[in-house]
Amino acid sequence: MSQVIEEAARRRTFAIISHPDAGKTTLTEKFLLYAGAIQSGGAVKAREDRRSATSDWMEMEQKRGISISSTALNFPYREQELNLLDTPGHRDFSEDTYRVLSAVDAVVMVLDAAKGIEPQTLKLFEVCRSRELPVITFLNKLDRPGLEPLELLDQIEEQIGLRPTPATWPVGSYGDLRGVLDRRTDVFTRFTRTARGSKIAPEEDMAAEQAAAEEGDAWLKCAEESELLDAMGADVDMESFLAGQSTPIFAGSALTNFGVRHLLDAIVDLAPAPLPRDDIDGEPRPLETACSAFVFKVQANMDRNHRDRIAFARICSGKFDRGMVMTCERTGKPFATKYASTVFGAERTTIDEAFPGDVVGLVNATGLNIGDTLYDETGPRVEFPKLPQFAPEVFASARPQDSGKVKQFRKGLDQLGEEGVVQVLRDPDWGEASPVLAAVGQLQFDVFANRLDVEFNAPIELLSSPYQAIRLTDSESATALREKPGVRILQRTDGALVALFENKYALQRIEQNEPELMLDPIIAG
């Protein structure tokens, strides 16, 4: 068991969050560049050194230039094992982001210096707060025109409620970013640009005296602002950082690689190693206990050659050995782990062992669903809290364009529903006929339609649906609700009953006049 404790201490499992276009995916790939996992931005090392893969592995992501699906990446850095989970930035995929945040121990929040705090950033941070995750902040794109860094600090404190504690501070004006001052060591790092940022930026460290002599007004401005921060006591404080009260700030530009190494070092030095996870009863499960894990994501067809189904599981305790038999708590059935992999974007490599904090891809994971707990059949039973679902805000129905593709359509409907791409709602009396699709945002429907076409060869026609609101209910309340006009009772994939309302005001009247009926909002709380 001492091996488990030692290996867990070497793990750093973290996610990167941001609003769209803040540079999250660029930063993800620059981390891989600095860790030596890729030779240049966008080109992942392979045996032939010719394959190309990015964290945005899905075809639709590459066409649209946005992150749609969360991605797991494992790589070594400074004798530590880093598990990086890249997340979608668009609000329509906030449910997927929430699932990912349930599997990490810290978060890197990327802010676009030109845009500052945006609504999606606030929403994501609320999830971080609810999970008590420590947050490291990266002020990105400081090489372009934008807000002053001090103004960004004010936004972080006023809108997010975290006390900003800058660890590094920019030297140079927008369009002429020279480097960063490490306020903890008083060392200035000057960077040299490389072509398209595809290589590690050459760095030159120098003391403050030399920087003052060589950088002139740029250094003077940085020194004055740093003195102001000193006077405010804005120094990195581990206790308040781990408690979710302050956020260390790092400055730079992911595109040019300025400040990337400082940020990557901070993840190793500041982010916490895995801690015991609370079970469903709120009791921490010790790291040295027999192996346990929970599934936070299910994804099909990542490998087009195999068309398989992979479940991403976060190891919570004990040592995982490939081939061990684990029990799925929900079903009580054994699950063989013969095909276990570590995942690098869409690429995968067989893994023989894993420890708390690691993310393992369980291939051919038929029978595993999002939120399932797995535990070593030789150890004590455990159940971790389920992952709640977000309240859908848009609804639609779908039918195959080709009546001869009904079988493929239903297969895709089941698979994508299990993955959580959309929620699939069916009438208990009608079976497969007229399912209703529910999603947080319209873009989820676009992904759903694209994947049905590309992966299942079942192009569909999406039809708008009249529903405006949804509530969880029970069988007794459902009987009464079926008698109401404009209300339809359907069943989720997990068996839960939901009531759909064509009119929000009718829902409000029912809630006020018949409080005895079960009408619970579906939230991620």
Q: Is 25 annotated as a binding residue?
A: yes
- Angle at CA of residue 496, ends 492 and 502, nearest 5°: 65
Q: Is 22 annotated as a binding residue?
A: yes
Q: Are 3 and 121 in contact (CB under 8 A)?
A: no
Range 394-513 classified under CATH 2.40.40.20: no
Q: Directed axis angle between helix 208-215 and helix 217-232, to 10°? A: 140
CA dihedral angle for residue 510, residue 516, residue 519, residue 523, rounded to 10 degrees: 130
pLDDT, position 346: 62
Label residues 424-437 b or e (16+ Cβ within 10 Å = b): bbbeeeeeeeebbb
Q: Is 199 annotated as a binding residue?
A: no
The C-alpha atoms of residue 354 and residue 314 are separated, in whole angstroms, by 10
CA-to-CA dists, residue 355 to 81, 272, 322, 328, angstroms: 10, 15, 12, 19
CA dihedral angle for residue 379, residue 72, residue 165, residue 210, rounded to 10 degrees: 120
**Locus of tokens 């999250």:** 24
Q: Is 388 annotated as a binding residue?
A: no
Q: Is 319 annotated as a binding residue?
A: no
Long-range contact pairs involving 510-515 (C-beta distance under 8 Å, separation at least 24)? 510/481, 510/484, 514/480
Q: What region, left, alpha or beta, does residue 186 occupy, with left being phi > 0 and alpha being psi -120 to 50 degrees? A: left
pLDDT, position 237: 96
CATH number of this structure's domain 277-376: 3.40.50.300
Q: Is 90 annotated as a binding residue?
A: yes
Nearest to 218, CA basis, from 167, 177, 175: 177
The C-alpha atoms of residue 126 and residue 107 are separated, in whole angstroms, by 12
Question: What 8-state DSSP symbol labels residue 276?
Answer: P
Nearest to 112, CA basis, from 20, 218, 176, 178: 20
Q: Are β-strands 163-166 and 246-251 bridged in parallel, bridged antiparallel, or unpaired? A: parallel
Residues of the chain with pLDDT under 70: 1, 39-71, 88-94, 301-307, 343-346, 431, 523-525
CA-to-CA dists, residue 38 to 28, 31, 199, 350, angstroms: 11, 9, 10, 19
Interval 185-218: pLDDT, tens: 999 999 999 887 889 999 999 999 999 999 999 9
CA-to-CA dists, residue 130 to 121, 123, 525, angstroms: 14, 11, 8
Q: Are 416 and 409 in contact (CB under 8 A)?
A: no
Strand, coil or helix: 124? helix
- Four-residue CA torsion sign, 461, 389, 71, 31: positive
The C-alpha atoms of residue 224 and residue 230 are separated, in whole angstroms, by 10
| pTM exceeding the 0.75 threshold for the entire prediction | yes
Q: Are 486 and 501 in contact (CB under 8 A)?
A: yes
Interval 490-506: pLDDT, tens: 998 878 899 999 999 98
Q: Is 116 annotated as a binding residue?
A: no
CATH number of this structure's domain 2-67+86-270: 3.40.50.300
- Four-residue CA torsion sign, 396, 402, 404, 408: negative
Q: Are 433 and 370 in contact (CB under 8 A)?
A: no
Nearest to 92, CA basis, from 159, 16, 19, 15: 19
Q: Are 319 and 290 in contact (CB under 8 A)?
A: no
Q: Is 403 annotated as a binding residue?
A: no
Q: Is 88 annotated as a binding residue?
A: yes
Q: Are β-strands 497-501 and 487-491 bridged in parallel, bridged antiparallel, or unpaired? A: antiparallel
pLDDT, position 195: 84
Q: Is 19 annotated as a binding residue?
A: yes
DSSP structure string for 205-238: EEEHHHHHHHHTHHHHHHHHHHHHHHHHT----H
Domain residue ranges in the chain: 2-67+86-270, 277-376, 394-513
Domains 2-67+86-270 and 277-376 share a fold: yes
Q: Is 145 annotated as a binding residue?
A: no
- The token pair at 162 is 């975290």
Half-sphere exposure (Cβ direction) of 465: Cα atoms closer than 13 Å: 29
The C-alpha atoms of residue 250 and residue 136 are separated, in whole angstroms, by 8
